[in-house]
Amino acid sequence: MQNYHPVTPQIIESLIKLLGRENVISGTEKLCDYSHDEYAQDDICHYPDLVVRPADARQISLIMKLATEHKIPVTPRGGGTGLCGGCVPTLGGIVLSLERLKKIIEIDKENLMVTAEAGVTLAELYKAVEAEGLYFPPHPGDEGAMVGGVIATNAGGARAVKYGVIRNFIRGMEVVLPDGEIIEIGGKLIKSSTGYSLLHLIIGSEGTLGIVTKATISLVPPPAAIYTLIAPFANLNDAIGAVPKILTGKVIPMAVEFIDREAMRVTEQFLDKRWPSDFGQAHLMIILDGSSEDEALALAQKVAGICLENGSGEIIFADAVDKQRTILELRSKSLDSLRKNMLEILDITIPRARIADFVRTTEQLAVEMETWLPTYGHAADGNVHTHIMKARWKNGVWTEIPGWREKYPVLMKKIHALGKSFGGVISGEHGIGITKKPYMEDFLGKRQIALMKSIKNVFDPQSILNPGKIFSEPD
Ligand SMILES: Cc1cc2nc3c(=O)[nH]c(=O)nc-3n(C[C@H](O)[C@H](O)[C@H](O)COP(=O)(O)OP(=O)(O)OC[C@H]3O[C@@H](n4cnc5c(N)ncnc54)[C@H](O)[C@@H]3O)c2cc1C
C-alpha cells in the first residue's frame, strides 16, 4: 500500500497561483459534484481534497510535477458519466477536471480527421463535425461524455457493429504522463507499425497511465440515408437467432439492439412515449445506413425479409427522422428509467451467438433468486447489459425485492461467473473502475494482472495517477 501525502495549504497556494482562485475548488458543497459518477449507488462516493480545473496541457504538466514531488493522488475526470466509479477519487487527493479543455482545434477535411481537446463533449463534437459535412460514427449513450473520457474507457455504443468502438477512430494523442512530461503519440495516420502501440495502451487505460489532453480522431463521410427497423419476435431465442442470418446475408447494420419488451414498458412510462410495437417479448432495433437512399432502402428491405423468414411479427419501418428520434430516445433512456431502482448495470460481453443462452440462464437465475434482472443490449456485438435491481416493475408499479441487499453480491458473483463460462469478458465498453475490480482476476488470471501492474509501474512508479482503479494498487 502506497503512503500518499495530504494536500497542504502551501500546495493549494501554489495551485491557486498557477490556475487562478476560481479554478481551484475546495469546500464540501462544491466538491460533492466531483465525488461520484453515474454509478447507481452512493456507497462508492468519495470526496477529493481539492478539484483543479486547468486550461491546457502545460498547466496539467505542472500540476502533475507538483503531485509527483509531494506524492499526491490525482484522479482525471471528464464528463463524469462513467458507470463504474472510474473518476471517483477513492483515495482523496486532487480531482483534475478536463472541463476547460474545450477547443476543437481543427477539422481537416482532406485527411478526414478532427483534432479536439479532451474536455469537448460528444454533443459538441458531433455538432462541429456534422457542420463540416463529416460524421463521427461511435455513439456511446450519454452525449455529456468528453473526448478524454471516451478514450480512457474505450467507449462503445450501439453503432459499434459496423464502425467499431472509440479505439478504431483514435489516431493521435497528446498525453501528460504522471511525472508531468508531455508526449505526442501517433498523428494523422491511418497505419502505424512502429513499435509497441502506446496509443492503444492509453486507450482504455481509465486514466491510470496518463492524462489525455488532445486527440486526433478519424471521421467518415456521412451516410446519405438511415433506416431504423423494429422487428418484434415472440421470444429472445427467435430474436437473437435472426442476427447471424442478417450478418451472413451480407448486410452489416450500423446497430442491432435487442430490447426486452417488458423493460421497455418502464421506459414508456418514464418518458410517456410509446414504443412502436407491442408484439412478443423480444424486439430487434436495427439501424441501417447507405450511401444513397436507394441503397439504404434495399438493405432495410433485405433485413426485413430475413427477420420475417426467421419468425418476426410485423416489421415497423422508421424512415422519418422524428419517428427514428422517438425510437432512439426510448432506447437511450432505458438506463435512466431503471436507474432509481437499480443497483448495478453489468457490461459483460460474450460471443454474440451465445446471447440467447446467456440471457435465458440469467432469467432462470432471476427466478431461482426471486429477483428481477432486466436485460438488453447490443445483439450483434455480444455486449449484454443485465441490470441488478432492488425493486421490480409490474403493470406500472414498483415493488421492493425482498432481501435485495443480500442478493446483490451473490448475483454479481454468479452472473460474472456465468459470463466467464460463456467465454466472455467483464466489460465491453464501460470499463472496470472500482466496481468491477473484484472480478478481474477470475477473468484474466494472475499472470495477466501482474503484467498490467508492471505496465502501470513503468508509467507511474509512485502510483499517483488514478490509483486503485482497474486493479488494486501495487503492494
Ligand atoms: C445514460 C448513459 C448511457 C451510457 N451509454 C453508454 C454506451 O452506450 N456505451 C459506452 O461505452 N458507455 C456508455 N455510458 C458510460 C459513459 O458515458 C462512458 O463510460 C464514457 O466514456 C465516460 O466518459 P466521461 O467523459 O464521462 O468520463 P468520466 O466518467 O469522467 O471518467 C471515466 C474514466 O476516464 C478517466 N478519464 C476521464 N477523462 C480522462 C482524460 N482526459 N485522460 C485520462 N483519463 C480520463 C477517468 O479517470 C475515469 O477512469 C453511458 C452512461 C450513461 C450515464
- Same domain for 232 and 164? no
- Same domain for 240 and 324? yes
Please report, in angstroms and rounded to a whole number, the separation of the first and last CA atoms in the chain. Answer: 5
46: left (phi over 0), alpha (psi -120 to 50) or beta: beta
* Inside any domain, residue 435: no
Span from the CA of 206 to the centroid of ligand 1 (angstroms): 9
Task: Tell me which amino acid residue 454 is.
Answer: S
For residue 214, report the phi and psi dihedrals to the nearest 5 degrees: -155, 145
* Inside any domain, residue 40: yes
Residue nearest to atom 41 of ligand 1 (CA): 148
Question: Which helix (H) or strand (E) segment is 229 a member of?
Answer: strand 225-233
- Could you tell me the three cell numbers for 91? 483515495
Rounded Cα distance between 167 and 362, Å, is 30
| CATH number for the domain that contains residue 31 | 3.30.43.10
- Could you tell me the three cell numbers for 31? 466538491
Span from the CA of 319 to the centroid of ligand 1 (angstroms): 31
Q: Which of 330, 430, 434 to mutate to test the pocket of ligand 1 (most atoms within 8 A of CB)?
A: 430
Write out residues with Cβ below 6 Å of ligand 1. Answer: 37-38, 75-83, 86-87, 98, 118, 140-142, 145-146, 148-150, 152-153, 155-157, 206-207, 211-212, 335-336, 429-430, 466, 469
Q: What is the pLDDT of residue 28?
A: 76
Q: What is the pLDDT of residue 320?
A: 82
* Inside any domain, residue 434: no
Residue nearest to atom 45 of ligand 1 (CA): 207
Task: Go through the chain and tell me how many residues it has.
Answer: 475
Question: Which of the 8 DSSP states describes residue 119?
Answer: T
**Taking the CB of residue 453, how many other CB atoms lie within 10 A of it?**
16
Share of the chain above pLDDT 90, in %: 92
Share of the chain above pLDDT 70, in %: 99
* Inside any domain, residue 256: yes
Q: 289 by DSSP, 3-state: which?
A: strand
Q: What is the pLDDT of residue 474?
A: 54
Q: How many helices (H) and strands (E) does the chain have?
A: 15, 18
Span from the CA of 145 to the centroid of ligand 1 (angstroms): 6
**What is the chain's mean pLDDT, rounded?**
95
- Same domain for 109 and 211? yes
| CATH number for the domain that contains residue 112 | 3.30.465.10
- Could you tell me the three cell numbers for 406? 443480500
- Same domain for 88 and 116? no
* Inside any domain, residue 463: no
- Could you tell me the three cell numbers for 324? 427514428
Q: Which of 422, 402, 426 is nearest to 353 (CA)?
A: 422
Q: 266 by DSSP, 3-state: which?
A: helix
- Same domain for 168 and 192? yes
Q: What is the pLDDT of residue 475?
A: 47
131: left (phi over 0), alpha (psi -120 to 50) or beta: alpha
* Inside any domain, residue 79: yes
Give whole-number Cα distances, 315 to 106, 229, 283, 302, in Å. 42, 7, 10, 12
- Same domain for 66 and 115? no
Question: Which of the 8 DSSP states describes residue 132?
Answer: T
Q: Which of 122, 142, 385 to mutate to test the pocket of ligand 1 (most atoms within 8 A of CB)?
A: 142
Q: Which of 38, 44, 91, 153 to mutate to test the pocket of ligand 1 (most atoms within 8 A of CB)?
A: 153
- Same domain for 399 and 413? yes
> Can you state the angle between helices 9-19 and 57-70, rounded to 10 degrees?
170
Task: Tell me which amino acid residue 303 is.
Answer: V
Q: What is the pLDDT of residue 19?
A: 98
For 323-380, the pLDDT digits (tens) are 888 998 999 899 999 999 999 999 999 999 899 899 999 999 999 999 999 999 999 9
- Could you tell me the three cell numbers for 233? 419476435
Number of the ligand 1 atom closest to the C-alpha atom of 175: 42
* Inside any domain, residue 446: no
For 398-449, the pLDDT digits (tens) are 999 999 999 999 999 999 999 999 999 999 999 999 999 999 999 999 999 9
The per-residue DSSP string of 373-413 comes to --EEEETTTTEEEEEEESEEEETTEEEEPTTHHHHHHHHHH
- Same domain for 167 and 67? no
Number of the ligand 1 atom closest to the C-alpha atom of 430: 19
The per-residue DSSP string of 10-64 comes to HHHHHHHHHH-GGGEE-SHHHHGGGS--S-S-GGG----SEEE--SSHHHHHHHH
Does residue 121 have a pLDDT over 80?
A: yes
The per-residue DSSP string of 41-54 comes to -GGG----SEEE--
Cell numbers 482504455 correspond to 204
Of 82, 100, 118, the one marking the end of a domain is: 100
Confidence (pTM)? 0.96
Task: Tell me which amino acid residue 381 is.
Answer: D
Q: Quick one: pLDDT band at residue 322, thresholds 50, 70, 90? A: confident
E-state strands within 120-188? 170-176, 182-186
Q: What is the pLDDT of residue 84?
A: 97
* Inside any domain, residue 473: no
Number of the ligand 1 atom closest to the C-alpha atom of 78: 30
For 20-38, the pLDDT digits (tens) are 999 999 987 789 999 999 9
Q: Which of 83, 124, 338 to mutate to test the pocket of ligand 1 (most atoms within 8 A of CB)?
A: 83
The residues, ordered by sequence, that sit 6+ positions from 296 with a Cβ below 8 Å of its Cβ are 223, 224, 225, 226, 227, 288, 289, 290
Span from the CA of 97 to the centroid of ligand 1 (angstroms): 13
Q: Which of 77, 120, 167 to mutate to test the pocket of ligand 1 (most atoms within 8 A of CB)?
A: 77
Residue nearest to atom 27 of ligand 1 (CA): 149
Q: What is the pLDDT of residue 449?
A: 96
Residue nearest to atom 1 of ligand 1 (CA): 142
- Same domain for 387 and 367? yes
Number of the ligand 1 atom closest to the C-alpha atom of 147: 25
Of 186, 218, 250, the one marking the end of a domain is: 218
Q: Quick one: pLDDT band at residue 162, thresholds 50, 70, 90? A: very high
The residues, ordered by sequence, that sit 6+ positions from 429 with a Cβ below 8 Å of its Cβ are 140, 153, 154, 155, 156, 157, 160, 165, 347, 349, 383
Rounded Cα distance between 95 and 329, Å, is 32
- Same domain for 79 and 129? no
Q: Quick one: pLDDT band at residue 1, thresholds 50, 70, 90? A: low
| CATH number for the domain that contains residue 300 | 3.30.70.2190
Number of folded domains that form the chain: 4
- Could you tell me the three cell numbers for 102? 474545450
Span from the CA of 156 to the centroid of ligand 1 (angstroms): 10
- Same domain for 184 and 83? no
Of 291, 313, 333, the one marking the end of a domain is: 333
- Same domain for 212 and 264? no
Question: Structural domain of residue 303, as residue ranges?
Answer: 225-333
Cell numbers 503531485 correspond to 67
